[in-house]
Amino acid sequence: MSNLINVPKNGSLTNTNSNLNFPNWSNWLDDIFNRDLPFVFTSNFNNGITLPKVNIKETADAFMVHMAVPGLKKSDFHIDLDNQVLSISSEVKEENEHETANYTRREFGYSSFKRTFNLPESVDEEKIDAHYNDGILSILLPKKEEARRKPPKTIEIS
């Protein structure tokens, strides 16, 4: 024999009636609203709203930012620099319409992202350069002359 007690969702232990086969309205509504949504409603939800992956590499002379953003055009990007904050964003709206004699089908698409990076003071803001090729956005952030690493130097002993 089990010592476990079946506790209703409202936490009440006073109802010990054996009417467990007939749920009350409160339990019935709880079951409806706590149930997971069917797959049909969630299958395409939030599709394509991920942030693109970024690689950042530092060399002696510059920082290189590479962002994977395939399927876009150069004109889809907005790159801004404000108070040493680099912002990279894109917004693409797509609308397709297909008409036949019996029906019209319209499809709308929208995707966007925005990535921001705090730049170090060593970046020369006047020489920043960006290129987009084969789905990769590349941004060169050159360092100021005084911030560049000098090559090793041998010091002669006198």
Domain positions in the chain: 54-147
Structure pTM? 0.59
pLDDT band, very low/low/confident/very high, at 26 (cuts 50, 70, 90) = low
pLDDT, tens digit, 9 for 90 and up, residues 43-64: 444 444 578 999 999 998 999 9
Give the three-class secondary structure for 106.
Answer: strand
Q: How many angstroms separate the CA atoms of 110 and 52, rounded?
A: 15
CA distances from 45 to 29, 48, 106, 113 (A): 25, 9, 18, 17
Per CATH, the number for 54-147 is: 2.60.40.790
How does the average pLDDT of the chain come out, rounded?
Answer: 78
pLDDT band, very low/low/confident/very high, at 35 (cuts 50, 70, 90) = low
Question: Does residue 105 carry a pLDDT above 50?
Answer: yes
